[in-house]
Structure 1
Amino acid sequence: MALNMGMLASYDQSVEFFKDNLGFGEAATILGASSVSGFFAAACSLPFDYVKTQIQKMQPDAEGKFPYTGSMDCAMKTLKSGGPFKFYTGFPVYCVRIAPHVMMTWIFLNQIQKLEKKAGL
């Protein structure tokens, strides 16, 4: 949900910016806007992915007690111990993994829309 929010909220605004303010052509606009969209998709979804990963990796201590009781507990303990930027640990790697997926989604969607127009749909 967070990934889609970042992806959808940023794409149309980026298209307008690249087309209207910078005067980019169609291909450059789509590539630039999809890149921006990929960045924001990664930025919006990484905090949730970070918490999920911490929950998945947790191991019981010597007494058999787990460090987190749930997602909210993990998020609050992470925020207290490392601040808000702790949720963005590993962002460059995550962005390199997520952004191309988002970019390809927008590029394929654009091509499908062109084909639909050509076919009169």
Structure 2
Amino acid sequence: MALNMGTLASYDQSVKFFKDSLGLGEASTVVGASAVSGFFASACSLPFDYVKTQIQKMQPDAEGKYPYTGLLDCAMKILKSGGPLKFYTGFPVYCVRIAPHVTTWIFLNQIQKISTIED
């Protein structure tokens, strides 16, 4: 949900900025807006993904007790121990992992072109 929010909210705004403010052509606008959209998708979704990964990786201690009791407990302990930037550990790698989602906008643009030609 956070990934889609970051993607959808930033793409349209980026298209308007690249087209209207910078005067870029269609191909440059779509590629630039897609890159911006990918960045914001990563920024919005990485904290949730980071907490999920910590939950998945947790191991019980010698007494069989797990370090986190749930998602909120995990997030609060991460925040207390590492601060808010801790949620963005591995951001560049995560951006590369999310980058293929950006191609969705490029394909959508091409499909829209094809559908207008047929009309």
Kindly provide the CA deviation profile for residues 36-85 of structure 1, in whole angstroms up to 9, marking residues without a partner as x. 00000000000000000000000000000000001000001001111100
Distance in structure 2 (CA, Å) of the matches to 1:53 and 1:14 = 30
- Residue 113 of structure 1 is matched in structure 2 by 112
* Structure 2 residues without counterparts, runs of 5 or longer: none
Distance in structure 1 (CA, Å) of the matches to 2:100 and 2:5 = 15
- Residue 2 of structure 1 is matched in structure 2 by 2
Percent identity, please: 79
Which amino acid is the alignment partner of residue 80 of structure 1? K
- Residue 72 of structure 2 is matched in structure 1 by 72
Distance in structure 2 (CA, Å) of the matches to 1:112 and 1:48 = 32
Q: Taking structure 2 as the reference length, what is the TM-score of the superposition?
A: 0.98
* Deviating 4+ runs (over 3 angstroms): none
Report the number of matched residues: 119
SS in structure 2 at match of 1:7: helix
For the aligned residue pairs, the C-alpha RMSD in angstroms reads 0.6
* Structure 1 residues without counterparts, runs of 5 or longer: none
Distance in structure 2 (CA, Å) of the matches to 1:85 and 1:22 = 32
SS in structure 1 at match of 2:59: coil
